[in-house]
Amino acid sequence: MAKTLNVGIIGYGFMGRTHSNAYRKVANFFDVPYKPVLKTICGLEEKEAKAFADRWGFETYATDWHEVIDDKSIDVVRCAGYWLKDAPKRGIEHICWDGCMFPNA
């Protein structure tokens, strides 16, 4: 059984949808050592973030990106529209900007 990989995605626009779908479907295309779990979606508007979480199957939502990168249960953060300048200071080792699916762990 694959280990779970808790995913946080920041941004729920086009790229947020694209990457949410990719995490949901990756095992259909590749043999991967992890089972991605859509943990938290983050966006500016609470109503839209909640609707996105419900539609795509995220466990929860946030409107402040700091909540996502500070959540120690999240293994990887996918940035789909924001800049996380202080993430390394908060202990985030793996931030995916483009083309990254899994951390280098």
Amino acid symbol at 95 = I
- Rounded to whole angstroms, how far apart are CA atoms 98 and 78? 9
Q: Which helix (H) or strand (E) holds 56?
A: helix 46-56
**Amino acid 93: pLDDT:** 61
Band of residue 86 on the pLDDT scale cut at 50, 70, 90: low
**pTM, 2 dp:** 0.78
Percent of the chain's residues with pLDDT above 70 = 75
Q: Which two tokens stand for residue 41?
A: 């979606």
Task: Please indicate whether residue 35 or residue 69 has the higher confidence score (pLDDT).
Answer: 35
Task: Please indicate whether residue 21 or residue 65 has the higher confidence score (pLDDT).
Answer: 21
Tabulate helix, strand, coil % of the chain (nearest 5).
35, 25, 40
Strand-pair category, 60-62 with 34-42: parallel
